[in-house]
Homo-oligomer: A and B are copies of this chain.
Amino acid sequence: MTPRDASSPLLTDLYQLTMLQSYFAAGMRGEAVFEFFVRRLPPGRNFLVAAGLEQLVEYLTALRFDAVDLEQLAATGLFDDEFLAELDRLRFTGDVDAMPEGTICFPNEPLVRVTAPLPEAQLVETRLINLLHFQTMIASKAARFVLAARGRSLVDFGFRRAPGAEAGVLAARASYIAGFDGTATVIAHPLFGIPIFGTMAHSYIQAHDSEIAAFERFARGHRGAVVLLIDTYDAEAAAARVVELAERLAAEGRKIASVRIDSGDLDALSRSVRKILDRAPGPRIGIFVSGGLDEHDVARLVDSGAPVDGFGIGTSLDVSNDAPSLDCAYKLQEYDGRPRGKRSPGKETLPGRKQVFRRYAADGRLERDVVALVDEPRDGEPLLVPVLRGGEPVATPPAGVEAARRRCRESLDRLPPALASLERAPAFPVEIDASIERLAAQIGATP
């Protein structure tokens, strides 16, 4: 990837461009309404957390074909000059309505609605799905860790096995929105203001002639909180060395914040190491664990009362290991004033431009969502809010990771208890309003 590539309009499927050429040639520039939604939950999910909107807005507002893009398209031989001139002029001029990031959501609910001239709304499909799918998937996975950790610290360690650079960075972002405390990925700090955390690698210990020499050098030279990795050889022996070191450092006013255990029986080791560390002088030394943990591992350690203060979570988060994709789509719901749908088996769509109305129980918990037509509103809190109008951000767009994180925290607190469990719960009630069903029945005979 060269620099321009990360925001290139050529990050799209070829068919978008060939369809566009046909639309332009036919003068099909009428208003189209597309909605992005998830068709069904993976087995291991009771809800989803919407994320990725900020990156989508960046993409849409920056969308343009530069001279190099147009040359590269011309070189394929698939496009005529008239069409390339259209692309040269093309900007996203449409409206976007969306659930703010951090909103808890469910299948068949539109997370994002795009209303724009058909070619623009169609062109953006590929990257729109790419951005919304990934962060929504990761935020939804991360929320499970947050529920499992019950207030203990969670840090994203996943960049190395994240699928590419963008995935690593956006996983740091999505997990922070869901309630992680931060990430090890340095660039997430300047990009998004996310707190960054670091410990040390086994190689640091191995590069020294003795473990205690490595601990001492790191503790004396490090400016931030000192976290010592104790499982390179023998975690309990290393914990005893940490205590000796803490005693020597205490005399100089220095301290050790935590130890990290990255392998072995974390439940047993955290207990034996806790006892050893409690012999150290000064402030309590914390225990941080890592090493291929998923949310069930976190829940087991927390539930068993293992004295673990925090968790480093890597691969299982950044690839959403138990559900590495969501069955989602961006579908045409209306064109040129007429509702549209398809009947492909298992992939039927609900036509019309829609809104989600959320209702709460007396105790403030989520009770029921109603998906209804925008023109026929129902009771409840409308979840989709204006984001872009005529291609420009609205005055008060829902933006920023901190706002999204707060929204997610508040939403998680209002989840019905069964949905907040790691186990599969009965589906949250999402009612499709009768007006939509009527519309779907009407478009039966189109072909």
User: Does A26 lie within 8 Å of B217, measured CB to CB?
Assistant: yes
User: Does B125 lie within 8 Å of A160, measured CB to CB?
Assistant: yes
Q: Which residue of B lies closest to A261 (CB)?
A: B344
Which stretch of A93-101, A202-210, A427-435 is in the interface? A202-210
**Nearest chain B CB to A314's CB is how many angstroms away?**
9
Cα–Cα, bound, A200→B15 (Å): 5
Residue A178 is within 8 A (CB to CB) of chain B in the complex: no
Q: Cβ of A34: which chain B residues have Cβ within 8 Å of it?
A: 203
User: Does B164 lie within 8 Å of A202, measured CB to CB?
Assistant: no
Q: A163-B134, A263-B346, A264-B344 are contacts. A199–B324 as well, Cβ < 8 Å?
A: no
User: Does B10 lie within 8 Å of A207, measured CB to CB?
Assistant: no
Mask: chain A, 1-41; 1 = CB below 8 Å from B; 0 = not: 11111111011111111110111011010001010000000
User: Does A319 lie within 8 Å of B163, measured CB to CB?
Assistant: yes
Residue A418 is within 8 A (CB to CB) of chain B in the complex: no
Instruction: Please report which residues of chain A, range 227-244, place their CB below 8 angstroms from some CB of chain B when the two chains form the complex.
Output: 231-234, 237-238
User: Does A187 lie within 8 Å of B319, measured CB to CB?
Assistant: no
Q: Cβ of A43: which chain B residues have Cβ within 8 Å of it?
A: none
Q: Cβ of A197: which chain B residues have Cβ within 8 Å of it?
A: 14
Q: A1-B6, A6-B165 are contacts. A211–B15 as well, Cβ < 8 Å?
A: no
Residue A78 is within 8 A (CB to CB) of chain B in the complex: yes
User: Does A164 lie within 8 Å of B161, measured CB to CB?
Assistant: no
Q: Cβ of A126: which chain B residues have Cβ within 8 Å of it?
A: 159-160
Mask: chain A, 178-220; 1 = CB below 8 Å from B; 0 = not: 0000001111011100001111111111110111100001100
Q: Cβ of A222: which chain B residues have Cβ within 8 Å of it?
A: 18, 21-22
Residue A426 is within 8 A (CB to CB) of chain B in the complex: no
User: Does B315 lie within 8 Å of A319, measured CB to CB?
Assistant: no
Which stretch of A277-285, A299-307, A334-342, A381-389 is in the interface? A334-342
Residue A253 is within 8 A (CB to CB) of chain B in the complex: no
Q: Cβ of A417: which chain B residues have Cβ within 8 Å of it?
A: none
Cα–Cα, bound, A184→B212 (Å): 54
Cα–Cα, bound, A22→B219 (Å): 10
Residue A366 is within 8 A (CB to CB) of chain B in the complex: no
User: Does A163 lie within 8 Å of B160, measured CB to CB?
Assistant: no
Q: Cβ of A232: which chain B residues have Cβ within 8 Å of it?
A: 342-344, 447
Cα–Cα, bound, A223→B185 (Å): 45
Q: Cβ of A46: which chain B residues have Cβ within 8 Å of it?
A: none
Instruction: Please report which residues of chain A, range 306-356, place their CB below 8 angstroms from some CB of chain B when the two chains form the complex.
Output: 315, 319-321, 324-326, 328, 331-332, 335-336, 340-347
User: Does A325 lie within 8 Å of B133, measured CB to CB?
Assistant: no
User: Does A187 lie within 8 Å of B14, measured CB to CB?
Assistant: no
Q: Cβ of A191: which chain B residues have Cβ within 8 Å of it?
A: 1-2, 5
User: Does B198 lie within 8 Å of A341, measured CB to CB?
Assistant: no
Cα–Cα, bound, A324→B199 (Å): 26
User: Does B196 lie within 8 Å of A14, measured CB to CB?
Assistant: yes
Q: Cβ of A122: which chain B residues have Cβ within 8 Å of it?
A: 201, 203-204
Q: Which residue of B lies closest to A75 (CB)?
A: B190
User: Does A199 lie within 8 Å of B15, measured CB to CB?
Assistant: yes
User: Does A221 lie within 8 Å of B21, measured CB to CB?
Assistant: yes
Residue A72 is within 8 A (CB to CB) of chain B in the complex: yes
Q: Cβ of A331: which chain B residues have Cβ within 8 Å of it?
A: 202-203
**Nearest chain B CB to A15's CB is how many angstroms away?**
4
Q: List 20 A-B contacts (CB under 8 A).
A: A2-B191, A5-B187, A8-B187, A11-B159, A13-B198, A14-B185, A15-B199, A18-B218, A26-B221, A72-B190, A80-B223, A122-B201, A129-B161, A130-B159, A130-B162, A130-B168, A166-B166, A233-B446, A315-B325, A319-B325
Going nearest first, the 10 A-B pairs with the smallest beta carbon separation are A14-B198, A164-B166, A3-B3, A15-B198, A10-B187, A203-B332, A324-B324, A164-B167, A129-B160, A263-B344
